[in-house]
Amino acid sequence: MSTDPLVAPSDSPPELTTGSAKKTPFYAMLWVQVVLGVGVAVVFGYVNPARAAEMKPLGDAFIRLITMVISLVIFCTVVSGIAGMEDMRKVGRVGGKAILYFEIVSTLALLVGLLVGTVVKTGEGFNVNPATLDGRAVAAYAGQAKAESLSDFLMHIIPKTLVDAFAKGDILEVLLVAILFGFAMSAARKRTKPLLDLIDSLTQTVFAIVNIIMRLAPIGAFGAMAFTVGKYGIASLGPLTKLIVTFYVTCALFVLLVMGGIARIAGFGIARFLLYIKEEILLVLATSSSETALPTLMSKLEKLGCSKSLVGLVVPTGYTFNTDGTSIYMTLAALFVAQATNTHLQLEQQLVIFGVAILTSKGASGVQGAAFIALVGTLMVIPSIPVAGMALILGIDRFMSMFRALINMIGNGVATVVVARWENELDRATLQQNLLDAVQSAA
């Protein structure tokens, strides 16, 4: 078993956290500033909802700044990682192991949501007549939801042009281009050395840009949370408290028990890992988008000892194929709509929901609202469940999306470490020590 140490400083992206060799003041720590921003936003949204809702551009601007550089982060990381690898078979092996892990865990998440929805019956007692619901808002989402065959999905991964992949910012398209570039540069290693040096320099520059953008995280978190509280209000949660609490508790238990069990087998503690990525957790909760944490999550995973190429392959792919939070939400919410509209589902129909959700959940990325569209698409395949029933949870979807995105992000972090351990890139003792050192240095 390999006992590779931490990635060498020359191969690692610049520090993205507020920690440094010099002790950072408590108030200057990023996670403290984000917590303060969120706290102020909640109070502001409660006291002055109208003005708080107008803070939305602050959150949107921060999310757009992050998504602006994600394509370059993925491209540079994957290309430099693959081009620098001597064993090209490792790329295919890592990809295969990652997909296998994603399918097993996300399918388990779907089953958990189905089981919890069946047992808890979050929609019981609503007795809603679908004819009385205003389905116009849901119809807009139904227009975006469409059935996608396997061939359609595969064709979607291939961009029309190399530039088109970056113009659209599609993660899987950028990943495909990066993999092709990496393989091509590896095959002509000597002739492409100047280009690899250029990409390495570009990588350093891109992460420096991310470092600058992250200084605005408290402002972005404030704007996003102020909008959420001001627009929807805490009072809107009242009638659907049972659904929200059930979803939150299910997600928390899934992280602690399922992911925690997987982490223990892989040789690390889930609690310490969560402490290590606390800044990313806070950002995702505030912005309801897991994409805001992608660049810094990738950086932190590299500093744990995961190779640059492995991180570049597993994390972006996981944002499409490993959406555990979305999976729990889809089956739980589908049963809620059926129960709330008194639609009795046979076991066969529940299994159909499960089967369709396996496919539709793969298209729900970290963008806020994508899971709602995917769920609408799922219900459209089950005629007995009125799609108009989705109007019941449309108003609270923003609150649901917080935990959806959070579990998706945590799941991809855990998956990357597990695959790295599976690949013998770092041993148990090294991983535990790196986590301990990182958590202590940030304390």
pLDDT digits (tens, 9 = 90+) for 29-57: 777 888 898 889 889 988 888 898 899 89
Q: Return the axis-axis angle of helices 397-422 and 370-379, rounded to nearest 10°.
A: 100
- Asked whether residue 13 is assigned to any structural domain, the reply reads no
Number of domains within the chain: 1
Can you give the CATH number for the domain in which 271 is found? 1.10.3860.10
197 exposure class (CB count in 10 Å sphere: 0-12, 13-18, 19+):
exposed
CB 332 within 8 A of CB 362: no
Structure tokens given for 384: 């007995």
Say how far apart CA 71 and CA 170 lie, in whole Å.
8
pLDDT tens by residue, 236-254: 666 688 899 999 999 999 9
- The dihedral formed by the CA atoms of 45, 49, 52 and 56, expressed in degrees to the nearest 10: 110
Which residue do the tokens 């923003």 mark? 398
pLDDT tens by residue, 386-402: 877 777 787 778 788 88
Which residue do the tokens 């912005």 mark? 287
pLDDT at 134 over 60: no
Q: In the structure, what pLDDT confidence band is assigned to residue 100 with cuts at 50, 70 and 90?
A: very high
In this prediction, residue 225 carries a pLDDT of: 86
- Asked whether residue 274 is assigned to any structural domain, the reply reads yes
In this prediction, residue 21 carries a pLDDT of: 47
395-408 as b/e: b if 16+ CB within 10 A: bbbbbbbbbbbbbb
In this prediction, residue 277 carries a pLDDT of: 92
pLDDT at 125 over 70: yes
The identity of residue 230, as a single letter, is G
* Residue 384 DSSP class: T
Residue 399 lies in domain? 24-442
Say how far apart CA 400 and CA 392 lie, in whole Å.
13
CB 228 within 8 A of CB 38: no
* Residue 390 DSSP class: G
In this prediction, residue 11 carries a pLDDT of: 41
Say how far apart CA 129 and CA 9 lie, in whole Å.
62
In this prediction, residue 15 carries a pLDDT of: 45
- Asked whether residue 267 is assigned to any structural domain, the reply reads yes
In this prediction, residue 110 carries a pLDDT of: 93
In this prediction, residue 17 carries a pLDDT of: 44
- Asked whether residue 2 is assigned to any structural domain, the reply reads no
**How far from 162 is each of 71, 76, 182, 188, 342, CA to CA, in Å?**
12, 14, 14, 20, 50
- Asked whether residue 301 is assigned to any structural domain, the reply reads yes
Say how far apart CA 291 and CA 66 lie, in whole Å.
8
Pairwise pLDDT comparison (131 vs 346), residue with the higher score: 346
The identity of residue 161, as a single letter, is T
- Asked whether residue 12 is assigned to any structural domain, the reply reads no
Check the CA dihedral 195-200-203-204 and report its sign: negative
- Asked whether residue 229 is assigned to any structural domain, the reply reads yes
pLDDT tens by residue, 334-368: 899 888 888 888 888 888 888 888 777 765 554 55
In this prediction, residue 94 carries a pLDDT of: 86
Check the CA dihedral 370-106-316-69 and report its sign: positive
Which residue do the tokens 């606390």 mark? 278
**How far from 80 is each of 9, 219, 373, CA to CA, in Å?**
15, 33, 35
The radius of gyration of the chain's CA atoms, rounded to the nearest angstrom, is 22
- Asked whether residue 41 is assigned to any structural domain, the reply reads yes
Q: In the structure, what pLDDT confidence band is assigned to residue 369 with cuts at 50, 70 and 90?
A: low
Q: In the structure, what pLDDT confidence band is assigned to residue 127 with cuts at 50, 70 and 90?
A: confident
CB 88 within 8 A of CB 326: no
Mean pLDDT of 96-103: 92
**pTM for the full predicted model:** 0.80
Check the CA dihedral 250-253-254-258 and report its sign: negative
In this prediction, residue 252 carries a pLDDT of: 96
Average per-residue pLDDT in the chain?
Answer: 81
Which residue do the tokens 């949501």 mark? 113
pLDDT tens by residue, 159-196: 888 888 888 777 778 888 888 888 888 887 778 888 88
